[in-house]
Amino acid sequence: MPRIRDILHAGEPGQSTTIQGWVRTKREAKGITFVEVNDGSSMAGLQVVLSADLAGYDAVVKDLTTGSSVEIGGTLVESPGKGQRVELQGESITVYGTADGETYPLQKKRHSFEYLRSLGHLRSRTNTLGAVFRVRNACAQAIHQFFNERGFLWMHTPIITASDCEGAGEMFAVTGLDLANPPKTKEGAVDYSQDFFGKPAYLTVSGQLEAEIMAMAFSNVYTFGPTFRAENSNTSRHLAEFWMVEPEMAFCDLTGNMDLAEEFLKYIFHSVLEHCPEDMAFFNDRIDNSVLATADNIINNTFERITYTDAVKLLEKTDRKFEFPVEWGIDLQSEHERYLAEDLFKKPVIVTDYPTGIKAFYMRLNDGGETVAAMDVLAPKVGEIIGGSQREERLDVLERRIQEAGLPLEDYWWYLDLRRFGTVPHAGFGLGFERLVQFMTGMGNIRDVIPFPRTPDSIEF
């Protein structure tokens, strides 16, 4: 069966066709009924015209309520309506499933996104969520294409892990033990030797360290998988479960890393605009009228590149009042990042070489030791969208940094081995996939860009 998207783009008047989908709206006139049928392939549905001479017209039309599912055969005709080339003159119709007008929750009126979250099993049938998940898919496909075209291998790093990438805590525990009555050691502690993995296990917060392993064999790799935070953050930007993209490149320094990040963002935005123009126009029209301008800004500007030290000087010089005062050594806040990207440079900015004290142990120490070869890509409207670094490839420096971070060296034996045997300069970055989709669509709440959001006290569906 053809998809409605294809019929809308390429269907010709006179052509016979059959469509399958769900009724969005029905309008009855004298002896004629107009039905809009949507199959999820595009924002726009196909208008179907049913005449009273259709067999069983009255009974069928009664069943064609919003949400009912149908198969309709007929002939395409030129559409007199605006904004559509063709419509379908229905000649045969099967109603697969009805949707009772009294109980079907998605009637024509607009619903709040919050209410729709309670209908996670139905909300994808609305215009906005439909567009979100088509764009999300286009974005995900573009990510694979980008890396595949460049010879990067997709590597599946582990979800269940015994190691903690950044010593950051806030991890979910995974266990096969009976929580009500776990086995205990003589000392009264939980006896993890009896658990499935023989030791405490967690959900991963990042695949980076394992991606480094794979980059030391295949040169260029990337991960694209779920990651987790057990943070009790009830905000519009946090999820307990989200997808992350993490490329890792051997024989690469911070400049190469910046080049890749810039090329990557441009590619993804370009690809989504190419594949989902109608959905993107919808977001610009209904959700955030800067969405298309932002995409254009990213695609057509060379990203600014400045050091953290220079960025702090610029922030100190401005008359803009910030909630968080600026001085060398602070972590940049969203207001600072947005000022740089949105107001000062009016385009994406890559800030590099952050103070050692505010960044993770694995980032490469610059000469002098005060800064590390870190980079954050800041975008207008949202601030940080990508974070990355050149990794510390020197064994002695890395050992010292792990110890200074208060982490046990022995936990990192294999990570250190990568520096013992054929170590090379290497670099990579991480991108929160849902934040990218949120940024791209202008959706206000991150819970509305992932099909089934996991947040504190929320695990339905």
- Does the footprint of a second copy cover residue 173 (CB under 8 A)? yes
Q: Which region among 214-222, 264-272, 342-350, 378-386 touches a second copy (by CB under 8 A)?
A: 214-222
How far apart are CB 173 and a second copy at their closest, in Å? 5
- Which of 51, 107, 232, 235 is close enough to bind a second copy by CB under 8 A? 232
Question: Which secondary-structure segment (H or E) carries 441?
Answer: helix 433-441
SS3 25: strand
What does the DSSP assignment read for 77-92? EE--STT-SEEEEEEE
Asked whether 406 and 95 are in contact (CB, 8 A), the reply is no
- Does the footprint of a second copy cover residue 156 (CB under 8 A)? yes
- Does the footprint of a second copy cover residue 456 (CB under 8 A)? yes
Question: Angle between the 127-149 and 277-286 helix axes, to the nearest 10 degrees?
Answer: 130
Binding mask 24-63 for a second copy (x = CB under 8 A): ---------------xxx----------------------
Looking only at residues 410 through 449 of this chain, which bind a second copy when binding is defined by CB under 8 A?
Answer: 414-415, 417-425
- Which of 89, 127, 141, 255 is close enough to bind a second copy by CB under 8 A? 141
Q: Which region among 207-215, 290-298, 317-325, 400-408 touches a second copy (by CB under 8 A)?
A: 207-215
Q: Which region among 49-57, 243-251, 304-312, 397-405 touches a second copy (by CB under 8 A)?
A: 243-251
Phi-psi group of 325: left, alpha or beta (phi > 0 → left; psi -120 to 50 → alpha; rest → beta): beta
Number of residues that bind a second copy (CB under 8 A): 103
Query: How many angstroms separate the CA atoms of 431 and 441, rounded?
Result: 16
Positions of E strands within 206-348: 220-228, 241-250, 304-307
Q: Which region among 84-92, 144-152, 319-327, 361-369 touches a second copy (by CB under 8 A)?
A: 144-152
- Which of 104, 304, 318, 347 is close enough to bind a second copy by CB under 8 A? 104
Asked whether 174 and 200 are in contact (CB, 8 A), the reply is no
Q: Which region among 178-186, 373-381, 402-410, 440-448 touches a second copy (by CB under 8 A)?
A: 178-186
- Which of 51, 92, 107, 148 is close enough to bind a second copy by CB under 8 A? 148
Query: How many angstroms separate the CA atoms of 251 and 256, rounded?
Result: 9
Query: How many angstroms separate the CA atoms of 297 and 291, rounded?
Result: 10
- Which of 228, 267, 283, 303 is close enough to bind a second copy by CB under 8 A? 228
Asked whether 428 and 220 are in contact (CB, 8 A), the reply is no
SS3 196: coil
Q: Which region among 140-148, 280-288, 332-340, 384-392 touches a second copy (by CB under 8 A)?
A: 140-148
* Alpha helix stretches (DSSP H) within 301-379: 308-317, 334-338
How far apart are CB 362 and a second copy at their closest, in Å? 15
Asked whether 380 and 297 are in contact (CB, 8 A), the reply is yes
Q: Which one, 238 or 359, has the nearer CB to a second copy?
A: 238
Query: How many angstroms separate the CA atoms of 49 and 326, rounded?
Result: 64
- Does the footprint of a second copy cover residue 271 (CB under 8 A)? no
Asked whether 192 and 202 are in contact (CB, 8 A), the reply is no
Question: Angle between the 254-275 and 277-286 helix axes, to the nearest 10 degrees?
Answer: 90
- Does the footprint of a second copy cover residue 230 (CB under 8 A)? yes
Looking only at residues 245 through 264 of this chain, which bind a second copy when binding is defined by CB under 8 A?
Answer: 250-251
- Does the footprint of a second copy cover residue 237 (CB under 8 A)? no
Q: Which one, 85 or 454, has the nearer CB to a second copy?
A: 454
- Residue 183 exposure: Cα atoms within 13 Å on the Cβ side: 12
How far apart are CB 43 and a second copy at their closest, in Å? 12
- Does the footprint of a second copy cover residue 345 (CB under 8 A)? no
- Does the footprint of a second copy cover residue 174 (CB under 8 A)? yes
Q: Which region among 72-80, 122-130, 284-292, 381-389 touches a second copy (by CB under 8 A)?
A: 122-130
Query: How many angstroms separate the CA atoms of 102 and 365, rounded?
Result: 65
Query: How many angstroms separate the CA atoms of 58 and 52, rounded?
Result: 8
How far apart are CB 113 and a second copy at their closest, in Å? 16
- Does the footprint of a second copy cover residue 131 (CB under 8 A)? no
Asked whether 424 and 393 are in contact (CB, 8 A), the reply is yes
Cβ-based neighbours of 210, under 8 Å, separated by 6 or more: 155, 157, 158, 223
- Does the footprint of a second copy cover residue 400 (CB under 8 A)? no
Query: How many angstroms separate the CA atoms of 162 and 91, rounded?
Result: 62
Q: Which one, 238 or 336, has the nearer CB to a second copy?
A: 238
Q: Which region among 14-22, 313-321, 348-356, 375-383 touches a second copy (by CB under 8 A)?
A: 14-22
- Which of 80, 176, 406, 408 is close enough to bind a second copy by CB under 8 A? 176
How far apart are CB 180 and a second copy at their closest, in Å? 5
